[in-house]
Amino acid sequence: MPAGELLQPAIASADNKRLNDGVVSNVYTIQRQAGCTTTVRSNPALQLAAQWHALDLVHERALDGDIGSDGSTPADRAAAAGFHGTVAETVAINPSLAINNMDVINQWYYQPTDLAIVRNCANTVMGVWSENSLDRSVVVAVYGQPH
């Protein structure tokens, strides 16, 4: 490595489909426990919006919430991905290589604002994306109410 060059944490290449699908399943369960009768389903546009933000969060260490490094909001990213409707977002971050469904749900379940989003029966579609680096794992869920 040339002198003066900083070593950046490597991004782990992993197939997180199982984790992402598990988060959707867990949200469905929490919504059912809250009395929802609708079925939350995956949405490709919301998944793309979640992917953009997860990549931003894993690379930009100063970020830890809904606002992107470019100032974008969940609604901005969802609209840019082609979703038309109301959106909300939850973010889970672990300072480690790995994150699992229980880590994610525990972070959201015990944070009242996040739990209200997860339990909202009007959120009938969602997109989930997760990214990992050696010292940071991120899961972003974008929830939607189509218009």
pLDDT < 50: residue spans in the chain: 1-3, 5-13
CATH number of the structural domain spanning residue 95:
3.40.33.10
pLDDT the model gives residue 15: 64
Number of domains in the chain: 1
Residue 91 lies in a domain: yes
Chain centroid to CA 136: how far? 14
Please, are residues 50 and 141 in contact by the beta-carbon 8 Å criterion? yes
Position 67 scores a pLDDT of: 96
The closest of 129, 116, 128 to 24, measured between CA atoms, is: 128
Half-sphere exposure of 55 (CA within 13 A, CB side): 9
Residues 6+ apart with CB under 8 A from 112: none
1 within a domain of the structure (yes/no): no
CA distance linking residue 25 with residue 129, whole number of Å: 14
Is 0.75 topped by the overall pTM?
yes
69 lies in some domain: yes
Query: Range of 97's domain?
Result: 14-146
Residue 8 is predicted with a pLDDT of 47
Bridge partners of 11? 133
Whether 38 is in a domain gets the answer yes
Give a yes or no: residue 63 inside a domain: yes
Name which of 48, 41, 112, 49 is nearest 75 in CA terms: 49
What was the pLDDT predicted at 98?
Answer: 87
